[in-house]
Every structure is written in structure tokens, then in C-alpha cells.
A = this chain, B = another copy of it.
Amino acid sequence: MSCCESAKNQIKDGWFREINDMWPGQHLALKVEEVLSCEKSKYQDVMMLRTSNHGRALILDGIIQCTENDEFAYQEMISFLPLCAHSNPEKVLIVGGGDGGVAREVDKHPLVKQIVQVEIDQKVIDVSKKYLPNMAKGFDSPKLDLKVCDGFEYMKNHKNEFDVIITDSSDPIGPATALFSESYFSLLKDALKPNGIICSQGGTVWAGVDYIKNTLDHCRKYFKEVRYPVASVPTYPTGQIGFFMAALNENADLVTPKLKLSNEDLDRYNLKYYNSDIHAACFVLPNFAKKILYG
């Protein structure tokens, strides 16, 4: 095993520090008990930590992708928002999501029949299977066809195929940069069936709101209805993450869930964050963000 020194250097005095120019002058630190794994894949530094209070944490290129304790918030929201906004999400594409968490959530939706997932980095899948079993169990879904390849390339050859496409990417540096480009949204559009809906990881309005605005503008060139819902995830930068969510149809109602989940459904699906009220409420933004993104 070759160590990725730059990632390990972010650990000091027992704290992993998520220092990055994308959120200048601030960072979250997590107390580390043990570095379980640290390898350079073909694409990125892949590190797995055992933290003192947040379970295990997957770190890619020095950035926290998930911790076992709060990963549910992100996985549930990026999955159930587009699935429940669609009236019949039978066939779903997941781009990225190498920890398996999104596949785990998509598998729960009663109308989903078929899931294709394209993850570029086999190493992320392997390390997640070894250390994040409660997320990687998503790979056991009988509905899932997992392909290890470039999502960008995959979509060039798959047109008019999917009802929902979820892009669970890392941030726009390193291997995920293309997933925020204008041409990516063009590919997403073409890969969708009529009535299709997308949902992509979208950063935070509290750091880099101009980048979000630019990406939304890319999205608006190919999609008729474009929104930016948000969720609270304490171990993501600024404690909040947003999503680029968009529909092919003009005036598509993304805010009202087509499938309303009862309390029994929430328990059966083990949903700890998402519910139908959250679905509607998460589209409401503070004035400053609303002005910049929709203004």
C-alpha cells in the first residue's frame, strides 16, 4: 500500500483538518483515532479514517466525502428528492457514488425497477466495501448494474434511457471537474427520457456561490425547470449542501413530491432525514442566495 502523504499531512495533533481554497479561512476538523487506509488510486488520494465521534470517514483528495454518522442526510436527499419528484422513476442512472450510499437509497424507492451506476474509481468501491458496509450494501441491490467507467463517456452512448439521473460527485477539482461543465448538462439532457429529472451534488451557497450560479446557468441552457434545494450535513463545509435539480419539462413541479411517504414508509425505508415536508421546505432559500441564484 502506497501512502498518500499530502492527505496524511492534513492530520495534525490527532485532528484531520479539511483545509481547502474552496472554503478559504475556515475548515472543519475531525478527531482521528486511526488511519485505516490511505492509497493513491489512478484518479485521487483515497483515505479512510476511524474518527472518535463520527464513525468512519471517507476522504478523497483531502476532502470529506462522508462520515458514517451523518451520511444519511446527503444520501437520502440527493436520492429521494428527484425520485419522489418524478411520477414514475423506473430506470435510474447514478454517476459517481462509489461508496454505495446513493444506490442503497435509490433501491428503497418502490417504483424503481432498474439502476445503472457508473463509478470511475474502483479503489473507492473497494475501500467502501471493506470499511463502510452500511453504505456499500447498496451494491448488493438486485436492481443494480454497476459499471466501473467514466460517467461522462458512458452517457455519450446512452441516449433517451433514464427517468432520473443522480450525480453523486466530489467537488469540482480533480476527477469530478467535468461533472460541473456545460457539456455535462447537455449529456444529461440527452440521456434522459421525456419527463426526466436530474439531481447533482451542488456545493454550498455559503462558500463559492458564484460558482453555483455559473453551474446553474449551464444547467438552464438544457433544462426548463431548474432549482437549488439544500440539506444540512454537519461534516460538509459550512454544514450545508445544495443540489442542482432540474427537469426537462417546462413548469415541472419539483417541489411537490408525487410519492408521499407515510410515517410507516419512513420507518420501513429507514429514512432518518427525508420526509415529504422536508421535500417541500428544502427549496426555500435565504434572501441573499435567492437573489443570486434566481434573481
Contact = CB atoms under 8 A, between A and B. Distances in A.
A287 interface: yes
A172 interface: no
Interface of A: 12-13, 15, 17, 24-31, 51-54, 70, 73, 204, 206-207, 230, 232, 234-236, 238-240, 266, 271-275, 277-278, 280-282, 284-288, 290
Contact of A239 (B54, B232, B285): B232
A70 B235 contact: no
A232 B232 contact: yes
- Binding site secondary structure of chain A: mixed
Contacts of A30: 25-26
A274 B288 CA distance: 9
A113 to B, nearest CB: 26
Contacts of A287: 266, 271-275
Which of A25, A70, A275 has its CB near the most chain B CB atoms (within 10 A)?
A25
Task: Give the 7 A-B CB pairs with smallest separation, nearest first.
Answer: A239-B239, A25-B53, A234-B238, A281-B281, A281-B284, A25-B52, A25-B31
Contacts of A31: 24-26
A54 B25 contact: yes
Contacts of A282: 281
